[in-house]
Amino acid sequence: MEMRALGRTGTRVSELCLGAMTFGREADEATSKAIVDRFLDAGGNFVDTANVYSLGVSEEITGRVLAGRRDDVVLATKVRFTMGDGPNDVGLSRRHIRMNVEASLRRLGTDWIDLYQVHCWDNHTPLEETISTLDDLVHEGKVRYVGASNYAAWQLAKALGIAALRNWEPFVSLQPEYSLVTRDIERELLPLCRDAGLAVLPWSPLAGGILSGKYHQGQDLPKGTRGGDTEEPITFTYRLDDRAWRIVDAVRTVADEIGKTPAQVALNWLAYRPGITSPIIGVRNLGQLEANLGAIGWRLEDEQLKALLWASAFPRGYPYDFIEYADS
């Protein structure tokens, strides 16, 4: 598996990152261990989880299945969301971060976290409090690098500016949602990350399953899939519009042309986009992992890329259209 720099750091990570959100939920511990072992044996070295995934269970399983192989792995986790019933059991305050980094270290069975990410913006905590606390964790050796997830461009730019001004550890990565269906980060976040040298680690690269080819327009979402196994609305349902189905059709067409699956085509498109470091793949079983591993090691042709870009085109809006007009 190809190795890439984790932003402007000396650490190298695999071109696919294994997401552990399914551990303890869709995948039991034995299945999770088999998934991790196969991923590492295939050349992967990057594993991502979060304290909130199954309220710590994902971290616990991740720690146990990595026993004996911890030194081979760049391990990432996150902090921000609710971990208890108290008023201080959520957010990015010094108190909450301090309590939860210790809890994550215990659950993961490790002395250090390679990449500690804030899981989302926190409107209730001064940014200086959050960044200074993360800086302390790096200097104490509990954390190697810090990153952000689910930030707006202005929030990320402000955080990078404060870190530079105070000589604190800056974010080295951003974990945003990004896929052929959800390309919004191309407006501001992706250009900012490329300019600042941040690693980009996209989550939901298959748009919640839309790009897997399992769903068909006009048909019920099948059982045994993420969409078909819940009675509650899930994040991608609002994207099942005409544009989404147009993208699915284009992906299926390309997949049929080259003998790949729709999921492999969609993942390949993302893995080799300019500025992308490691898409995060989440799998329930070994079969899904094997299929995802088939998404790398080859490239789409220019005409296929053009077809996918045309099908997934989205309005850039102001001021981007105006700037492009002014430069023409």
Active site residues: 53
Residue with tokens 């991502």: 48
Q: Which residues pair with 280 in a beta bridge?
A: 17
- Among residues 143, 64, 53, the alpha carbon closest in space to that of 107 is found at 64
Q: Which token pair is 313?
A: 């085109």
Cβ atoms within 10 A of the Cβ of 117, count? 27
Cβ atoms within 10 A of the Cβ of 88, count? 10
Residue 89: C-alpha distances to residues 52, 83, 124, 181 (Å): 11, 5, 13, 34
Q: State the Cα–Cα distance between residues 144 and 130, nearest whole angstrom.
A: 16
Residue 178: C-alpha distances to residues 14, 58, 59, 162, 181 (Å): 18, 23, 24, 26, 8
Q: State the Cα–Cα distance between residues 142 and 110, nearest whole angstrom.
A: 9
